[in-house]
Amino acid sequence: MKLISVCKGKIHRATVTSCDVNYEGSITVDQDLLDAAGIVDGELVHVWNISNGERLETYAIPAERGSGIVCLNGAAALRCGVGDKIIIAAFCLTDEPVRRKVVLVDDNNRITKIVS
């Protein structure tokens, strides 16, 4: 069996609402956005900063539903600023087709469209 890494879900152009360098680590994201993208609590995610080109890996933790929160924590907080636009992507290893979910959001991190 041959496994390939495939993008399974992405939150596109989310706005960073806060950064907390003193938190242990991770990215905190509105649970509604995580659900829409198929990203689960603790899952490895890639964060690509559209505003400055920084790229990092961390894990996702849920924020309150409907809050619009996208908060970079720990060392990741030093690579983003409030107001930066980011992409949050999750991948999976599989030998089967994957229907990717792309979640498009507005400036307040409200879902405007889900493409799959």
* Catalytic residue list contains 5: no
Cα–Cα dist 23/98, whole Å = 34
CA dist 108 and 15 (Å) reads: 7
DSSP secondary-structure letter at 76?
G
Catalytic residue among 5, 18, 23, 26: 26
Annotation says 51 is catalytic: no
Phi, psi (degrees; rounded to nearest 5) at 32: -60, -40
CA quadruple 105, 108, 109, 113: dihedral sign = negative
Q: Tell me how far apart the alpha carbons of residues 45 and 52 are, in angstroms, rounded to a whole number.
A: 18
* Options 5, 59, 67, 116, the catalytic residue: 59
Catalytically active residues are 26, 59
